[in-house]
Structure 1
Amino acid sequence: MQDDAKTEEQDVQVEQPVDQSPEDTGKSMDEINAEIEQELEEAMEEEEKSREQQLEEEVAELKNKLLRSVADLENYRKRSARDKADAIRYGNQRLIEDLLPVIDNFGMGMQASEADAGSMIYMGMQMVQKQLDGFLESQGVSAVDLKPGDVFDPKEHDAMAQEESEEFEEGQIIRIMRKGYKMGDRLIRPANVVVAQAAAPEESEAAADDAEA
Structure 2
Amino acid sequence: MNSHDPDIEPAEEKEIEVSDQLEAAEEESSAGEGDDSAALEAEVMKWKELALRTAADHENYRKRAAREREEAVRYSNQSLLEELLPILDNFEMGMQAAAQDQSSMIYVGMDMVRKQLNEFLNSCGVTEIESEGKAFDPNVHEAVSQEVAEGVDDGQIIRVMRRGFMLRDRLLRPATVVVAQSAEESDSEEN
TM-score by length of 2: 0.74
Aligned length: 161
Distance 2:138 2:185 in 1: 26
Q: 1:202 to 1:110 in 2, by over 3 A?
A: closer
Q: Report deviation, 1:201.
A: 5.8
Partner of 1:184: 168
1:161 aligns with 2:114: no
- The structure with the larger Rg is 1
Alignment counterpart, residue 142 of structure 1, candidates 127, 136, 142: 127
Question: Residue 58 of structure 1 is aligned with which of 12, 22, 43?
Answer: 43
The 2-side partners of 1:45 and 1:172 are apart by 86
Q: Aligned AA for 2:178?
A: V
Q: 1:67, CA displacement in angstroms?
A: 1.7
Quote the residue 1:129 is aligned against. 114
User: How big is the shift at 1:45?
Assistant: 8.5
Instruction: Give the drift of 1:101.
Output: 0.6
Partners in 1 of 2:108 and 2:174 — Cα distance? 30
d(CA) in 1 for partners of 2:170 and 2:184?
Answer: 38
Matched, 1:91 2:67: no
Q: Deviations over 1:107-152 (max 9, x none)?
A: 122122222112211110111011111211221111113332x121
Q: What is the match of residue 82 of structure 1? A: 67
Which stretches of structure 1, 4 residues or longer, exceed 6 Å deviation after superposition? 43-46
CA offsets 1:14-41 (integer angstroms, 9 cap, x no match): xxxxxxxxxxxxxxxxxxxxxxxxxxxx
For the residue of structure 1 that corresponds to 2:161, the secondary structure is strand
Letter in 2 for 1:106: F
User: Which residue of structure 1 aligns with residue 32 of structure 2?
Assistant: 47
Give the distance between the partners of 2:92 and 2:155, measured in 1 at CA.
27
Relative distance call for 1:46 and 1:165 in structure 2 (3 A) is: farther
* Mapped partners of 2:44, 2:130: distance in 1: 58
Q: In 2, Cα distance between the equivalents of 1:133 and 1:172?
A: 27
Of 193-202 and 51-60, more deviation after overlay is shown by 193-202
Aligned Cα RMSD in Å? 2.3
Match for residue 106 of structure 1? 91
1:171 aligned counterpart, secondary structure: coil
Equivalent AA in structure 1 for residue 109 of structure 2: G
Query: How far apart are the structure 1 equivalents of 2:29 and 2:151?
Result: 93
1:128-179 CA-partner distances (Å, limit 9, x unpaired): 011111211221111113332x121111111111222222222221211111
CA distance in 2: counterparts of 1:147 and 1:84, whole angstroms: 36
How far 1:44 sits from its partner (Å)?
Answer: 7.6
**Aligned-pair CA distance for 1:84:** 1.7
**Structure 1, unaligned runs of 5 or more:** 1-42, 205-213
Q: Given the two structures, how large is their TM-score scaled by the length of structure 1?
A: 0.67
- Structure 2 unaligned blocks of 5 or more: 1-27
**Residue aligning to 1:207:** none
Are 2:29 and 2:36, in contact at CA under 8 Å, matched by a contact in 1? no
Residue-by-residue CA offset, 1:61-81 (whole Å, 9 max, x unaligned): 222222221121112112222
